[in-house]
Amino acid sequence: MTPQVIDLSGGTSKVLWMIEMIWNGGQKTEIEGFYWSDMPEAVNRQAVGIWPALGLFGAEYRGCEDNVDGSSTLPGHPYVGSATLDAGASCCNIFVSAAKPSAPTANYGGLPVPLARMGVMNLKRILKSRKIPFDHKEKQPVLAALLAEYIDAPRTPGNDEKPKGPPEDALSAQTQATAEPKVVQQAEPKTAQPGAKRAKLE
């Protein structure tokens, strides 16, 4: 099976994902495909859609299912699922992983995929999909370095949330108090009437 490079972003994303299938505890590994997408949800749906085509006898003989339908995947996280096929004759794990860029990042949204694992032909297909120029005679390290400079890491789930702070009413009151300081008016001192003082002396 030749992995395809599929763009789920309309040509805008620089985040690269890979769907990988690991059979029978690592005896065999397959790359299903590469996907351009800012967030993993669209790629996760592709991964979940692989299950119906696996096995000779269909879902009826599938067992030990773990997140096969993707319902346990947290928002913003890549998919991981596993099951036995054909009444236990084989087992398969399906992973969605982000490719590792050259720039450091705190969170890849899953285990990062070293680009060197992708192979020369796959690297060339991915570079062509983004029209990144390269010499066809170049070896894998150079091709991987070109791709690493281009791709971005996925965003950390939840990093778009607004930071928590005081309620808006409190902030508004504080701003108003700062902008318009209160002016305390002091009362003028009382002066005695000259006429009243004279009357007492008389």
Instruction: Sketch the domain layout of the chain as residue ranges.
Output: 4-150
Pair of tokens at residue 158: 């939840």
Q: What is the DSSP letter of 157?
A: T
Pair of tokens at residue 157: 């789930």
Backbone φ and ψ for 59, nearest 5 degrees, come out as: -65, -25
Taking only the tens of pLDDT, the chain with its 202 residues reads 789 999 999 999 999 999 999 999 999 999 999 999 999 999 999 999 999 999 888 888 999 999 999 999 999 999 999 999 999 999 999 999 999 887 554 444 445 677 877 889 999 999 999 999 999 999 998 999 999 999 998 886 654 444 344 444 444 444 454 445 454 555 555 555 555 444 444 4
Taking the C-alpha atoms of residue 16 and residue 36, their distance in angstroms, rounded to an integer, is 5
Q: Is the Cβ–Cβ distance between 143 and 124 less than 8 Å?
A: yes
Of 145, 89, 142, 144, the C-alpha closest to 122 is 144
Taking the C-alpha atoms of residue 72 and residue 22, their distance in angstroms, rounded to an integer, is 20
For the question of whether the overall pTM of this predicted structure is more than 0.75, the answer is no
Q: For the chain, list the strands marked E by DSSP.
A: 4-7, 16-23, 28-36, 63-66, 80-85, 90-98
